[in-house]
Amino acid sequence: MEAAELKIFPDKDALARGAADFIAARVLDNPGRVALCLTGGSTPEGMYKVLATKPLPWERIHIFWGDERFVPAGDPLSNARMTMRALLDKVPVPDAHIHPIPTETSGPEESAALYEKALKSFYGAEVLDPSKPLFDVVLNGMGDDGHTASLFPGAPQLNERLRWVVAAEPGMEPRVKRVTLTFPVLESCRSSLFLVAGAGKAAMLKKVLAGEDFPAARLKPRGDLSWFVDTAAVS
Ligand SMILES: O=C(O)[C@H](O)[C@@H](O)[C@H](O)[C@H](O)COP(=O)(O)O
């Protein structure tokens, strides 16, 4: 693991362009099967729209999500739905390469078990090999309370080292149950990046970058880690 890199952009649009360029470059670095782990929240949406304009080899890109709200696929709160509308509906990615966290199940526990199975089958092994990262790029957000994915401060899911995917209680708005990848899985990547924008994040960003114990600061990717932030978030 290398030291984290901090990239500061003048505003949210510049941040979106910078992050989309970064992801496109990482995709093009890999001549084989590419796996991207995307995130929900409001910050990535603009970046997804920029990424949709990039001429990328979509036929060899697979899409996963780091967490999902336990709502039907068509619900406006769905992270996958937002990503479909901003990005995936606009690019020639094969349907079979889109791997949303299933939510039409008996509950978040069943969703987590099914997604864990899907990830292991894609990876081709039951145990993560440190020399073989699962994802090329993992995109992360950070909540005002320091959560990332649906790993909330003080939650038992923070200490999960065996399960790849678990159910989570709603830690903050929207107050719906969640399904989330765990740290070892989010960390199994070549590159990891956080997108953080807006003055509302400034106080927490300062603490997390100083290494205070919040979920976003606990993420220790095997590959490189970059923080893409706007000036408001570092104000
Ligand atoms: O489902 C979710 O809510 C997210 O995956 C969550 O972890 C998000 O990334 C952060 O809360 C930041 O969200 P914003 O970009 O909206 O601030």
Distance 31 CA to ligand 1 centre (A): 30
Closest ligand 1 atom to Cα of 43? 15
Q: What is the mean pLDDT of residues 166-181?
A: 90
Per-residue pLDDT band for 28 (boundaries 50, 70, 90) equals very high
Residue with tokens 């619900």: 75
The pLDDT of residue 172 is 77
The per-residue pLDDT of the chain, averaged, comes to 96
Residue 230 has pLDDT above 90, yes or no: yes
Helix segments in the chain, DSSP class H: 12-29, 44-51, 79-86, 108-123, 183-186, 202-209, 215-218
What average pLDDT does range 57-84 have in this prediction?
A: 97
pLDDT average, residue stretch 22-30: 97
Q: What is the pLDDT of residues 115-162, one digit of tens each?
A: 999 999 999 999 999 999 999 999 999 999 999 999 999 999 999 999
Name the band, by pLDDT with cuts 50, 70 and 90, for residue 233: very high
Contact (Cβ atoms closer than 8 angstroms) between residue 107 and residue 189: no
Give dist(CA 148, CA 44) in Å, integer.
Answer: 13
Ligand 1 centroid, distance to 78 Cα (angstroms): 11
Helix (H, G, I), strand (E, B) or coil at 231: helix
User: Phi then psi for 6, rounded to 5 degrees?
Assistant: -110, 120
Q: What is the mean pLDDT of residues 165-180?
A: 90
Atom index in ligand 1 nearest the CA of residue 200 equals 17
Residues linked to residue 38 through DSSP beta bridges, in sequence order: 65
Cβ–ligand 1 distance for 79 under 6 Å, the answer yes
CA–CA gap between residue 26 and residue 138 (Å, rounded): 11
Of 50-59, 101-110, 167-176, 213-222, the range with the lowest mean pLDDT is 167-176
Q: Which residue do the tokens 């030291």 mark? A: 3
| Domain ranges (residues) in the chain | 5-234
Q: Please give the backbone phi and psi of residue 199, each rounded to the nearest 5 degrees, phi first.
A: -65, -25
- The pLDDT value recorded for residue 51 is 98
68 CA: nearest ligand 1 atom: 1
* Rounded-to-integer distance, Cα 172 and Cα 187, Å: 23
Q: For residue 1, is pLDDT > 70?
A: no
| Res 9: pLDDT | 98
Residue 2: predicted pLDDT: 63
In order of 7, 25, 29, 91, 118, the CA distances from 56 in angstroms are 23, 10, 11, 9, 24
Band (pLDDT 50/70/90 cuts) for residue 174 is: confident
**Mean pLDDT, to the nearest integer, of 90-119?**
98
β-strand 178-181 against 67-69: which pairing, if any?
antiparallel
Please tell me the total number of residues recorded for the chain in this structure. 235
- % of the chain residues with pLDDT over 90: 94
CATH topology assigned to domain 5-234: Rossmann fold (3.40.50)
Average pLDDT of the segment spanning 167-186: 92
* 112/143 Cα distance (integer angstroms): 22
Å from CA of 141 to ligand 1 middle: 5
